[in-house]
């Protein structure tokens, strides 16, 4: 395992060794806590190293942790962050599962919560760290705006086995079938309770339904043989959508968007049992 944790708190380098020893199941003598720039006083034979550097702003320390233990490959960065947060009573910031969105991280709290946050590293020398947005209120970051982060929703790639069987990934026409891909992803989101944060804005749901509206036009441009295949896949996803939603005449979605739902296809008049945009965070 190799990872970098950013933390709040005082004297973390003096306190972290027993936590890491316990986490990796090693004697404390096998853990080397070292200043990032100090190459002379290190224990180069240690099984776990933790290179630390002070930070400023909302975050106090950077901890670059590495182990050569093959057994540690089964341990996750999230579990390590939660362990450190609980053990030391601090907030631990670690990488998100969105490598292409550099400004999104995750935060683990002493209470055991994990949420996405927006971190900003200033261009000052030395840089100053600010937590600008957090999905939940974290006392250590009182100035952070508390709200959902919609940018993390769509990049989450959910499985689409029905579409993949119909139009395999890498197929030259795959891009044209995005309305079907997106339609199946919507059902996957519902079935998984709206990952990654159990929240989904009504505006995105409307976009999904508008893409479903385009499917008939996509199918009409295909050969008769392909039309049958894609229509059967669409009907299969439609059945899943029906099983995951309730008929309500479009009332809930109209209320959430402030726009009446009229003269629409049947799927516009159905809603999830517990609409994710009904949360207080909408």
Lowest mean pLDDT across 10-19, 67-76, 146-155, 254-263? 67-76
Encoding tokens for residue 105?
Answer: 């991280």
Report the C-alpha gap between 279 and 14 in whole angstroms.
42
Report the C-alpha gap between 56 and 158 in whole angstroms.
37
Residues 106-122 have a mean pLDDT of: 96
Residues 237-257 have a mean pLDDT of: 96
pLDDT at 169: 84
Residue 232 has pLDDT above 60, yes or no: yes
Residues 50-75 have a mean pLDDT of: 87
pLDDT digits (tens, 9 = 90+) for 182-229: 999 999 999 999 999 999 999 999 999 999 999 999 999 888 888 898
The closest of 3, 130, 116, 105 to 55, measured between CA atoms, is 130
- Helices of type H across the chain: 12-24, 77-88, 161-166, 178-191, 202-213, 215-220, 224-244, 251-257
Reported as a pLDDT band with limits 50, 70 and 90, residue 52 is very high
The closest of 147, 110, 104 to 8, measured between CA atoms, is 110
What's the mean pLDDT when you consider all of the chain?
92
Report the C-alpha gap between 166 and 9 in whole angstroms.
53
Report the C-alpha gap between 48 and 121 in whole angstroms.
28
pLDDT at 279: 44
pLDDT digits (tens, 9 = 90+) for 118-170: 999 998 877 899 999 999 999 999 999 999 999 999 999 899 999 999 988 88
pLDDT at 73: 61
Name the percent of the chain lying above pLDDT 70.
Answer: 96
- Using alpha carbons only, give the angle 110, 116, 120 rounded to the nearest 5 degrees: 100
């Amino acid at each position: 395992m190799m990872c970098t944790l950013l933390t709040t708190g005082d004297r973390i380098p003096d306190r972290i060794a027993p936590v890491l020893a316990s986490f990796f199941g090693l004697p404390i003598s096998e853990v080397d806590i070292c200043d990032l720039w100090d190459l002379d006083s290190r224990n180069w034979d240690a099984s776990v190293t933790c290179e630390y550097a002070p930070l400023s702003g909302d975050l106090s320390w950077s901890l670059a942790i590495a182990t050569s233990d093959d057994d540690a490959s089964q341990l996750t960065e999230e579990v390590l962050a939660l362990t450190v947060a609980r053990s030391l009573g601090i907030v631990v910031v670690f990488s998100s599962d969105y490598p292409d969105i550099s400004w999104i991280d995750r935060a683990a709290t002493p209470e055991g919560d994990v949420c996405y946050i927006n971190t900003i590293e200033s261009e000052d020398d030395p840089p100053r760290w600010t937590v600008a947005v957090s999905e939940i209120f974290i006392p250590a970051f009182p100035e952070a705006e508390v709200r959902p982060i919609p940018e993390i929703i769509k990049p989450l790639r959910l499985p689409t086995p029905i579409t993949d069987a119909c139009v395999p990934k890498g197929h030259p026409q795959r891009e044209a079938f995005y309305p079907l891909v997106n339609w199946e992803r919507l059902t996957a989101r519902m079935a998984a309770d709206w990952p990654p944060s159990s929240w989904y804005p009504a505006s995105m749901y409307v976009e999904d339904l508008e893409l479903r509206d385009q499917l008939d036009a996509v199918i009409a441009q295909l050969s008769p043989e392909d039309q049958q295949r894609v229509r059967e896949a669409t009907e299969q996803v439609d059945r899943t959508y029906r099983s995951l939603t309730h008929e309500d005449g479009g009332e809930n979605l109209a209320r959430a968007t402030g726009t009446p739902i009229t003269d629409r296809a049947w799927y516009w008049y159905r809603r999830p049992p517990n609409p994710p945009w009904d949360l207080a965070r909408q």
